[in-house]
Chain A
C-alpha cells in the first residue's frame, strides 16, 4: 500500500514510517497540514494517517477540504485526545477510523491495513469465503467444508469481522469496537474467552487451524 503519514512529531513520524515500510508499505511523510493537503491531492494514496493537531492547518480541516474535493482515500485519525466524543467528531469530519495516542504499532498497522481494503466496494458482498470456511451474510449461516457450524449471533459477528480482514491481524481493541461497540479495554482476557469459543467451533474438528493468535497484537484468520 502507498501510505501518506501527516504528523508533526518527527520521532513519531519516523517510527511509524519505519514500521510500515518493514511491513512492505510505501510511506511518504508530511510535517504540517498545508504540505499534507498538497501531497494528498497530488498523489493517489491507498491510505492516510493523519494527526489531529498539526501546524499551519489542523487535521480535521485538512480532512474536510479533502472530502469536499471528492477524495475518498481512507483516513486514520491519530490524536492525543482519546475520548469518545472527540472520536465522533473525527469520524463525522470524514475519517474512517480513529486511534488515540499512545497507540501500539501493531494496532496502527492492523487498522491501516484493515482500512486500505475498505476502499474496495464490500457493501454488496453477501458471501464471505476464507479457505474452506464460508459465511452467508443473508442466511446467516456458516459452513466449513461440508459441515454446518452453528454460531451464536455475537460469535457470528466476531467471525464476520475476522473474515472481512482475513489474512490480516485484527486487534482485541478493534474487535471490541467493531463487534461490541465498546471503546474501552477490559482488564481481563474477555475477548480471548470469546475467541477460544469460536475456535472450538470452527477449528476443533478440522485438521488445519484457521484462527491464529498473534502475540502482542491480536488474531488472524488464515488458511
Chain B
C-alpha cells in the first residue's frame, strides 16, 4: 500500500498536480471568504446599523418623554407581524430597576421564554451587564408547537443603558434567513471545492501515470543505448507537445551519433586496413632482412626493430579490439557456459609459467555454475589477469585463481596475488587505456590489458573489482585481488 504511494509521490507530474490542487484549495478559500463577506457580513452590518439607529431614536424618546411612554412605543412597534415575517421582527427587552436595585422584566417578550438556552451560550457571545447574560448573537425560540418542539432561530442584539437610572434596554433582530443563506453558499462552495480537489487528485494520478509511461520510454531508450543498442529510438505520438518534441530531438541526436559512430568505425576499419598492413609488411621485412644479413650487429639491430614493429602492431590490434568490444555490438555472442572449464584451461596454460617464475599456483573451484559468456573473450580476460599477476608478483609468491558463488546467485571469478598491489586511488585509473602506474613503467606491456578486461566485463555485464590481496591494507605488500562478478543467469524467455 505504501510503496505505490511513495512511487506516486516521486512522480513529478503527480507532485505538480498536488501543488496545483493545494493552490486551488487556497484560492477557493479566499473566494469563499470574499463571498461570505459580501453576502452575510454586509447584511449583518446593515442589521446592526438599523438597530443602532433605532436605539438612538428610543433614547431620545426616553429622555424627553420618560420610561412609561417608551414602553408604550415599544409595545406598539413590537406588535406581532406574523410568523412568516421574521426578518422584520424586532424584539425589545427592558430591564427596569426598583428602588432596591432589583430588576424586573419589561418589553414585548418575557426573557425566560425568549432566550433559547443561556447556559449553552459561549462566553464570547455574552454581553456583560445584561442580567440573563445574553449577547450580541443569540438563539431564540421563535415558536413552540403543541407537542413542545421548539423552533430555534438566530438573532443579533444591542444593549443600551440609560443613566443615571440604570435602566437597560436590549433590542434584537432575527437574522436566521441571512445566516441560512450564508451557510447555503458556504456549503455549496465547500462541496464544490472538495469535488474539485478530488477530481484534481484523480486526474493528477492519471496524468502522472501517463507521464511516467512516456518518461519510462525515454529511460528505457537511455539504458538500451548505453548498453550499445544505438538503433533504438523513442516512440513518438506526433502530438507536437514538449515530450514529443523532446523525443524528436533525442531521436535526431541518436541518428547523428549513429552516423558519427558508423563514420568512426569506418575510419577505424580504414586505419586498420591502411595502417596495419604496411606495419605488418614492415615487421616481416625487418624480420626477413634480419635473418638474411650476415653481420652480427646489423642482425641484432634489425631484430630489435622488428620486435618494436611487432609491439606496435599488438598495441594497435589491442586498441581496435577494445573499441569493438566497447561498441557493445556483440552481446548476442554470449552463451550459457560453465566457467570452470575456461578456468581449468587457463590454469593449465599458465601453470608452467608460474612455476618458471617461482610462484605457487592454485586453482580453487567451488561448486558448479553457469554464466552467460563468450569462451574466447572470457579466456582472454582471465589470461590477461593471470599474466598481470605473474608479471607483478615477486618470486616466492602465490597466485590463486578461484571460482565461487557469491550473494544473490552471482558468480565470481577472482585472481589473487601476493605482489605489490594497487593503491585504492589508482584502482579506477588502471582500467583506462594506456594507463601504467609508475612502478610498472619499466616492465614490458602496453597498458591495455586491464582496459581489455574492463571492456570484456562490460560486454558480459559483469562487475570488475580491484581490492587488496591476502596481505591486507596495512601490509607493505598487500597483494592484489581482482574479481569479475557475473550477474545471475536469467532463464530463457
Contacts and interface: CB of A to CB of B under 8 A. Distances in A.
Contact of B353 (A102, A104, A193): A193
Contacts of B303: 215-216
A188 B390 contact: yes
Contacts of B291: 215-216
How would you classify the secondary structure of chain A's contact residues: helix, strand, loop or mixed? loop
Contacts of B280: 101-104
Contacts of B279: 102
Interface in B344-384: 345, 348-350, 352-353, 356, 374, 376, 379-380, 383-384
6 contacts: A12-B277, A102-B279, A184-B376, A187-B384, A188-B390, A188-B391
A178 interface: no
Contacts of B374: 84
Given A187-B445, A197-B352, A102 B276 contact: yes
Contacts of A182: 349, 376, 379-380, 383
A185 B279 CA distance: 18
Interface in B375-422: 376, 379-380, 383-384, 387, 390-391
B345 A83 contact: no
Nearest to B345: A180
A156 to B, nearest CB: 13
Given A216-B291, A216-B306, A102 B383 contact: no
Interface string B318-349: 00000010000010010000000000010011
Interface residues of A, number: 30
B283 A104 contact: yes
A133 interface: no
Contacts of A184: 376, 379-380, 383
Contacts of B349: 180, 182, 186, 190, 194
Contacts of A189: 353
A206 interface: no
B6 interface: no
Interface pairs A-B: 7 shortest CB-CB: A102-B280, A216-B287, A102-B276, A184-B380, A105-B284, A193-B352, A193-B353
B269 interface: yes
Nearest to A152: B348
Interface centre among B269, B303, B349 (most CB of A within 10 A): B349
A85 B306 contact: no
Interface in A156-203: 180, 182-190, 193-194, 197
Contact of A190 (B272, B353, B379): B353
Contacts of A154: 348
B391 A80 contact: no
Contacts of A197: 352
B231 interface: no
Nearest to A194: B352
Interface in A74-113: 80, 83-85, 101-106
